[in-house]
Copies of this chain bind each other. A is one copy, B any other.
Amino acid sequence: MPAKSKDSRPGGRSARVRAAVHRAVVDLVQEAGADKVTIPAVARRAGVNPSSVYRRWGTASALLADVAARRQDEETPELVGDLRQDLERVAVWTLTDLSRPGGVAFFRAEVAPDVDDRKAGLRACLERVSARFRAPLEAAARRGETTPSLERVLDRVVAPLYFRVVFSIPGTDESFARGLVAELCDAVDAGAAGMARGQR
Contact = CB atoms under 8 A, between A and B. Distances in A.
B162 A114 contact: no
Contact of A111 (B108, B122, B160, B180): B108
Nearest to A163: B159
Nearest to A171: B151
Interface residues of A, number: 28
Contacts of A156: 156, 160
A168 B112 contact: no
Contacts of A163: 154-155, 158-159, 162-163
A169 interface: yes
Given A155-B160, A159-B163, A112 B115 contact: no
Interface of A: 32-33, 35, 108, 111-115, 119, 122, 125-126, 151, 154-156, 158-160, 162-164, 166-169, 180
